Structure 1
Amino acid sequence: MSASLRKIGIQAALASAIFSGCAPIFGKQAILYGFSPLAVTAIRTTLAAVALLILMAVFKRSYLYMYPVGLIGCALAGFVNGIGSILYYSAISRLDASLGHLLYSFYPLFMAFWMLVDLQPISRITALRLVVALPGVYLLISNSSTGVDLIGAGMMIGSAVLYALHIRITQRILFEAPAQSVTLYTLMAMGLTVLIAYLLFDRNLPAAGTPWWPLIGMAFVTFFSRFTLFLGVKHLGGIQTALLGLGELLVTVVLAMVWLGERLTPLQWLGGFILVVSLLMVGFDRHPPEKRRSSGLLAWLNPSPLGKTDFPWQPHP
């Protein structure tokens, strides 16, 4: 991988971390205003998906093309992440935003697990960075000044497992499709999943006059975090992007302190410093770019070979 592509990947992953770090704060604020977790998830995802679809249809219709198996993969990734999103904001309603996102930061561990299941090796530096990050996460969680809701914690861990799986699925699809197309169809499938869940199990909205700006802000950061995440995965690799995304943890913690009035103990600050060290180690990771593999749990997502007379349909730009 060239230095320029690697630089693009790191910049995209950092941007994704910043946008993603803002989402829990907006979500917690919306819940405090009276929106249910299902309403928060459904409204912000649907708004982001519709906005992206309109943007693509008007300016970049070529990105509407997706090979059939890839489209199925996007639907699967969106469904998985939709369920994970429901678990996430249900957990946020029971936990502080900072504590909840600290638990969610375990997802790189599950990302490594899914990569091994999919027969994709991880580099030694990546493994070392995971080991370095663990004590930091432990210090942040074990020294909380408030009790931990075990049901909420379990929901958050489940969300992390599903989020890691969705990254692995999209990484497979990105071998043959641009990040913009994958973002669109994954987000649409995610929006459809959470909207159906909302219509079936909730349908409640807060009283008239309740501020909606947190949900508008969530839709904005959802769109940009999804796009930059997949761009980072395409140029940097899934596990490195996931680890670099731990930076969103620090963004969430800082905003939770400034915006929501949450506080950290000295040992939790030490844990945050350890995580920063793990983030900085990305500069030493020389993991080679992934190659499309014909084996593994998600090998079925690879497109079928084209014959000499087979040409995929391409819409006019």
Structure 2
Amino acid sequence: MTAPTDRTALLAGLSIVIAQASINLGAAFAKSLFPLVGPEGVAALRTTISALILLAIARPWARPWRGRAMRGGAITGRQWRWLLLYGLVLGGMNLMIYWAFRRIPIGIGVAIEICGPLGVVLATSRSLRDFLWLVLALGGLALLIPWPGRAAPLDLAGIGFALGAAACWALYILCGKRAGEVGSTTAVAIGMTVACIVTVPFGLAAAPASLPLHALGLGLVVAILSSALPYMLEMRAMGQLSSRIVGLLSSMAPALGAIVGFLVLDERLTGLQWLAVAMMIVASAGCSLGAKPPVARARDDVMA
């Protein structure tokens, strides 16, 4: 590799790390908003503001949509169905992970959530090595379950919501491959708009009688940190890095979440919890490095 290529790859890798840190910092700000508007309100604010930002960036009404299955510049009925399903799953993922964050530390919630993309990769593999990654991830998850007599047990409902978010993430990847036929930027903008159908009713139902003005400001910060900024960073970086490297760097998310949770919210993990998070990080990283390119690139098509 030439020196300019080395610098480009380094900057692209740094962009992925910054994007992951931004997502987790956004999660910490979101959690600080829970006492004001609840996790449902934060999810509604995030998706609504993110949709407006992404629509302004994508401007789907101002240019032709170019996709592999497009004809005459119009989205087909099949593609609309995938976009609708993609957006509904995206909305469910936002709600589930915020419900989890209300009950368990951010780093642990993110560690459980990455079981979603890990499961997508393992579902297409039959190698013994990938089976061992699965065993490692399940072992990490078992360490987090609040077995009777365990000191500082985690909230079981929080673990359940995190697993729900993981399932939504897996569906998000599978639906995103189809939704991305209209173009990744357009798909994310439309998908985030559809996600509001899920989050806004919950947000309105849980909304306080009067919404503090600074809550809207924090909601804007959450939307930028959790969606708009990482989306732009990751989409730019993915053109410079292989899917395996992107997956490897993205596997750092639980560790970054635990660090951000400690620095911003004073969330302290026990030694056993750190071990569980580390096991799930290693499982995700190993699976990403060993995955076949077509499978590993499932999340490259559409990012949010």
- The TM-score bracket by the shorter chain reads 0.7 to 0.9
- Gap runs ≥5 in structure 1: 292-317
Match of 2:39 in 1: 37
Say whether residues 1:67 and 2:71 are aligned partners. Answer: no
Compute the displacement of 1:249 (Å).
1.1
Q: Once the two structures are superposed, what CA deviation does each residue of 1:89-128 show, in whole Å capped at 9, x if it has no partner?
A: 1232233333333332322344347xx4xxx557666554
Compute the displacement of 1:250 (Å).
1.1
Shift of the 203–267 alpha-carbon distance from structure 1 to 2, 3 Å rule, reads closer
Shift of the 206–22 alpha-carbon distance from structure 1 to 2, 3 Å rule, reads farther
Query: Does the Cα contact within 8 Å between 1:250 and 1:272 map onto a contact in 2?
Result: yes
Compute the displacement of 1:186 (Å).
1.2
Match of 1:214 in 2: 218
> Of 250, 254, 275, which aligns to 1:245?
250
Query: Does the Cα contact within 8 Å between 1:17 and 1:246 map onto a contact in 2?
Result: no
Match of 2:174 in 1: 168
Q: Once the two structures are superposed, what CA deviation does each residue of 1:179-237 show, in whole Å capped at 9, x if it has no partner?
A: 212211111111233123434x3343665365444322210121233456677889866
Say whether residues 1:28 and 2:31 are aligned partners. Answer: yes
> Of 140, 148, 157, which aligns to 2:154?
148
Bigger shift: 188-197 or 205-214?
Answer: 205-214
Identity rate, percent? 21
* CA distance, structure 2, for counterparts of residue 286 and residue 158 of structure 1: 24
Name the structure where helix makes up a greater proportion of residues: 2
Say whether residues 1:204 and 2:212 are aligned partners. Answer: no
* CA distance, structure 2, for counterparts of residue 189 and residue 289 of structure 1: 27
* CA distance, structure 2, for counterparts of residue 14 and residue 66 of structure 1: 36
- Gap runs ≥5 in structure 2: 67-72, 297-304
* CA distance, structure 1, for counterparts of residue 284 and residue 107 of structure 2: 18
Shift of the 123–168 alpha-carbon distance from structure 1 to 2, 3 Å rule, reads farther
Q: TM-score, normalised by structure 2?
A: 0.72
The number of residues matched between the two structures is: 280
* CA distance, structure 1, for counterparts of residue 75 and residue 141 of structure 2: 40
Compute the displacement of 1:30 (Å).
1.0
Compute the displacement of 1:8 (Å).
10
Say whether residues 1:18 and 2:26 are aligned partners. Answer: no
Match of 1:102 in 2: 111
* CA distance, structure 2, for counterparts of residue 22 and residue 78 of structure 1: 23
Query: Does the Cα contact within 8 Å between 1:183 and 1:227 map onto a contact in 2?
Result: no
Give the aligned residue type for 2:88.
F
Query: Does the Cα contact within 8 Å between 1:135 and 1:271 map onto a contact in 2?
Result: yes
Say whether residues 1:87 and 2:96 are aligned partners. Answer: yes
Query: Does the Cα contact within 8 Å between 1:66 and 1:181 map onto a contact in 2?
Result: no
Q: Over aligned residues, Cα RMSD in angstroms? A: 4.0
Shift of the 110–229 alpha-carbon distance from structure 1 to 2, 3 Å rule, reads farther
* CA distance, structure 1, for counterparts of residue 15 and residue 126 of structure 2: 21
Match of 1:225 in 2: 230
Compute the displacement of 1:86 (Å).
1.6
Q: TM-score, normalised by structure 1?
A: 0.70
Query: Does the Cα contact within 8 Å between 2:43 and 2:94 map onto a contact in 1?
Result: yes
Shift of the 202–268 alpha-carbon distance from structure 1 to 2, 3 Å rule, reads closer
Give the aligned residue type for 1:82.
G
Compute the displacement of 1:31 (Å).
0.8
Bigger shift: 132-141 or 80-89?
Answer: 132-141
